[in-house]
Amino acid sequence: MTDSSEIAECLARVRAAVATAARDAGRDPAEITLIGVSKRQPLAAIEAAFEAGLRDIGENHADELLEKAAAFAPDGLRYHFIGRLSSRRARKVARQAMLIHTLDSLRLARKLSLIAQEEGREVRALVQVNQGGEATKGGVAPAAAAALVHDTAALPGLCVIGLMSIPPFDDRPRDWFRYLRELRDAAAAETGIALPELSMGMSHDFAEAIAEGATLVRVGTAIFGARD
Ligand SMILES: *Cc1c(COP(=O)(O)O)cnc(C)c1O
């Protein structure tokens, strides 16, 4: 789907649903950042969404992120990296992405810290948690999340500000989101590091994620339509 009026309409619907979910949960809708996930969508789709007011874009392949960010980077547009990050692509992604949602090893954390120091910039990241222990998904085991947060605190230039998860797709998304929030609360208490951000919720379950405290929702098909 690249029709720009259709994207604008879908975006308006998703925004309204985000606001409703926030109010239902007694939250201020302004606490929630809507990230439009444009993977495998043409650049024109990002342009249309930006035109319609979307300011946060998520991509899960490094090369695709770099290509799109090189071609379209108007003032105010923020790219988020939400896929597996290889150390080969880490430097370029760290330059383009305002937030890396998928930190899942101390090795990658050390690499990002080194890059941050060399580039003279702060790199911000979320620790990705693999809640279902699924081999197809990245992330650390829930029991290892606090330790990774703790270990990154000693690394200059790298700032871990929360947790991210893509939970198993089943009929109880809200339970998974609640577990992630509780894990965040426990990790913050254990490490003394504020972890204000929770990246969770996609097209089919962002309302449940907002009910459980999501601050970043990653919505693809509900805004951009089916992917190629
Ligand atoms: C593709 C993707 C999304 C968006 O999924 P939709 O179901 O299209 O909303 C969110 N998060 C990640 C990490 C993704 O890869």
Nearest to 62 by CA among 31, 39, 34: 39
pLDDT, residue 184, reads 98
Q: Is 184 in the pocket of ligand 1 (CB under 6 A)?
A: no
CB 6 within 8 A of CB 41: no
* Start-end of H helices in the chain: 4-24, 43-51, 62-71, 87-96, 106-119, 145-152, 173-191, 206-211, 221-224
Q: Which two tokens stand for residue 104?
A: 């899942």
Burial class of residue 26 (count of CB atoms within 10 Å of its CB; 0-12, 13-18, 19+)? exposed
Burial class of residue 131 (count of CB atoms within 10 Å of its CB; 0-12, 13-18, 19+)? buried
- Ligand 1 centroid, distance to 200 Cα (angstroms): 10
Atom of ligand 1 nearest to the CA of 222: 9
Helix (H, G, I), strand (E, B) or coil at 49: helix
Helix (H, G, I), strand (E, B) or coil at 142: helix
CA distance 125 to 99: 5
For the chain, the structural domain boundaries read: 4-224
Q: Is 219 in the pocket of ligand 1 (CB under 6 A)?
A: yes
What is the dotted CATH code of the domain comprising 4-224?
3.20.20.10
- Ligand 1 centroid, distance to 192 Cα (angstroms): 31
Nearest to 223 by CA among 91, 100, 64, 53: 53
Q: Is 202 in the pocket of ligand 1 (CB under 6 A)?
A: yes
CB 97 within 8 A of CB 119: no
pLDDT, residue 110, reads 98
**CA-closest residue to ligand 1 atom 8:** 220
Q: How does pLDDT run across 56-67, given as a tens digit for each residue?
A: 999 999 999 999
Q: Is 166 in the pocket of ligand 1 (CB under 6 A)?
A: yes
Q: Is 221 in the pocket of ligand 1 (CB under 6 A)?
A: yes
Q: Within the chain, which residues score under 50 in pLDDT?
A: none
- Ligand 1 centroid, distance to 37 Cα (angstroms): 6
Altogether, the residues listed in the chain come to a count of 228
